[in-house]
Amino acid sequence: MAIKIKARVKEKPVKEIFIDTDFIRLDSALKLADVVQSGGHAKVVIQDGEVKVNGEVCTMRGKKLRDGDMASVPGLNIVVRKR
């Protein structure tokens, strides 16, 4: 007898951050989005592999995020928008 299981994937909330420059560093974006409290906290979160940029795990604190890029942390997606 086959058992069918249906699972629903809950979509993460999206938070937009707005920049006036061409790019923002990943660690700064996390601080701006209130995901982390300090640069040191951002460093730990990023180096532990908890952050994805455009769907791929990113361990570079200085990764440049530009207009339209998305960073994901558990429970939240962050989208960069240029003003």
pLDDT value for 56: 96
Q: How many C-beta atoms surround the C-beta of residue 78 within 10 A?
A: 25
Q: Where are the domains of the chain?
A: 24-82
Are the C-beta atoms of residues 70 and 51 closer than 8 Å to each other?
no
CB-based contacts of 82, cutoff 8 Å, min separation 6: 18, 19, 20, 22, 66, 67
The class that CATH gives domain 24-82 is alpha beta
Cut 0.95: pTM above it = no
CB-based contacts of 13, cutoff 8 Å, min separation 6: 75, 76, 77
Q: What is the pLDDT of residues 1-55, one digit of tens each?
A: 678 877 776 778 999 999 999 999 999 999 999 999 999 999 999 999 999 999 9
pLDDT value for 50: 96
Count of positions (residues) in the chain = 83
